[in-house]
Chains A and B, each alone.
Chain A
């Protein structure tokens, strides 16, 4: 790819939209994952008894639904990303490539 072609792609408004929106979306979801996981780890490191707090009259503790929820949320966030990326972002990519013609 020549310098001129690089400039041409960079100046394409749809390319700019694709890059900005996808980065924002991907980083937001990544930060949610990181915050969620490290919050979990921090509770275990600093206040493990919090997860030992009982729910209801039985033996069930707070930690178990929280742990299982992290597994479910990981899967759900992955699904949310794939749905938008394989739909909206791939459509946008296709349009960018069509507009660029020769380069793509």
Chain B
């Protein structure tokens, strides 16, 4: 292990150095960004050091999946924030504010409001019932094999879709920021994430996420502070200046065209709120703390950090309107010659990056670029660990290996192999999807999480009449409906397949697919009169007592 890290670390450093020499002269890439590369290498060596430290402390399966259950509420809250604040939300939301003003805030709020509800209804029950994955909870009193298969399928689908989106984003972002070739960027991200997860498990992943959250929050705070100080800390003056220069003028201060009809609005709201509560890598974080008390604290801190972060991105977006828009330094002249207007280099998602240059020069641009890269690494590591756990803990240990005792060492080995395989698959998918329109991918991930994972998990904790048959049929129907409606919807059917009109008119299927899942689970549970169904209903009370009091719950490991 030690040897391998000693070999790999300089290797990674030299790969980056060699690659950096080969990119000069390409038009779409930024010139080589030396300060960004230096800061990124500092982050990588620091986190690999942490991985080395974590590897020595990761001996049992419990260490690997949950860092031994000894993470504190504050640490876990930071790690949840680090898991959730992706580069897409940092660059994407500030870019949306830059482009459309108020509409960016609508997205931010949707991403935030799920958190308090997770706290009130889910977090402590999840902690009291589960061990390593959310399938532990869903399958608590139901049949292990079918429920875990469904949960693993939902988890792996969510994880892979999310990973594709992160990888394609990472490749393009790094190409732009660092001047590295797309494929190399994808391989670099994939290789680092495999290293963090296989050697350092949940402990290393957690610390990568905590460090990333601190870096991202400090960078964003500095930018927002710089913008506000430019206007003598008068919000009113900032908005006035933005309204004056933005081509949409006063329209940026009110909702625009983002959510056009009531059905889409509600459907988006359901996808964001319930999807958050069905993301396997987020749910898994609740098992890293010692008890329900720490689980609650985690969500409280996470809500605070995430909310604060979204307020910052709003200010950053407005700052970009004032300092980046119309600034000839950031203007994409080639694009302007074709389409007019004032397009910025790299598109709207680069607004925050250009702003970092406007307020802090090359050095700070390097810092924010390195933070964006670190952000991607932290998110993909959490995703990979969740995907690998679904394979090793749910499928291998509880479905395929249901006869006889599960050897813990073997289960861990399987999950490490699964991590490496997932990492390699992700690298290939990242490269394969480079030229594809991936706008639907994150939406589909959220739709699957909301329609397959969330209803089964939620009803397993709250509804005594749930049976295996109901959960499997209803959950599968929700999953199938979500996938089908995304395919028939405007993004895939019209934009990708090139058809005239969409068969399903809405971009977000969650309102329909979540309803299908809940109705399906309800119907196929109440009509289930088998003996196992009866036993499953009777087992609810004992489960409920454990979920309410923590009697019999998994504690932290002793060392």
Contact = CB atoms under 8 A, between A and B. Distances in A.
B542 A37 contact: no
B109 A64 contact: no
Contacts of B261: 45
Given A6-B545, A64-B102, A82-B119, A40 B109 contact: yes
A15 B264 CA distance: 43
B116 A41 contact: no
Secondary structure call for the A interface: helix
B328 interface: no
Interface string A79-103: 1011001100010010011001001
Interface residues of A, number: 54
Interface stretch (B78-86, B265-273, B391-399): B265-273
B243 interface: yes
Contacts of A38: 266, 269
B221 to A, nearest CB: 16
B549 A77 contact: no
A33 B109 CA distance: 12
Most buried by B among A15, A67, A79: A67
Contact of B109 (A26, A37, A86): A37
A90 B293 contact: yes
Contacts of A44: 106, 255, 259, 265
Contact of B307 (A15, A34, A64, A75): A75
A63 B117 contact: no
A61 B253 contact: yes
Interface string B336-350: 000000000000000
Interface string B230-253: 000001100110010000001101
A82 B269 contact: no
B117 A59 contact: no
Most buried by A among B108, B240, B254, B311: B254
Contacts of A30: 116-117, 120-121
Contacts of B124: 85
Contact of B117 (A33, A97, A103): A33
B112 interface: yes
A7 to B, nearest CB: 9
A93 B273 CA distance: 29
A68 B253 CA distance: 13
A37 B300 contact: no
Contact of A103 (B105, B236, B243, B551): B551
B551 A75 contact: no
A37 B269 contact: yes
B310 interface: yes
A49 to B, nearest CB: 7
B307 A104 contact: no
B296 A81 contact: yes
A98 to B, nearest CB: 11
B551 A78 contact: no
A58 interface: yes
B149 interface: no
B426 interface: no
A72 B307 contact: yes
B259 A63 contact: no
Nearest to A77: B116
Contacts of B467: none
A74 B264 CA distance: 23
Most buried by B among A15, A41, A81: A41
B113 A74 contact: yes
B537 to A, nearest CB: 13
Interface in A34-78: 34, 36-38, 40-42, 44-46, 48-49, 51-52, 58-61, 63-64, 67-68, 70-72, 74-75, 77-78
12 contacts: A6-B541, A6-B542, A27-B121, A30-B121, A40-B109, A42-B265, A44-B255, A52-B251, A58-B236, A64-B102, A78-B119, A86-B297
Interface of B: 102, 105-106, 108-110, 112-113, 115-117, 119-121, 124, 235-236, 239-240, 243, 250-251, 253-256, 259, 261-262, 264-266, 268-269, 273, 292-293, 296-297, 299-300, 303-304, 307, 310-311, 314, 541-542, 545-546, 548-552
Given A6-B542, A44-B255, A78-B299, 6 more contacts: A6-B541, A18-B549, A45-B262, A74-B112, A78-B115, A104-B549
Nearest 9 interchain pairs by C-beta: A52-B254, A45-B265, A48-B255, A45-B262, A26-B120, A1-B542, A61-B253, A71-B307, A67-B105
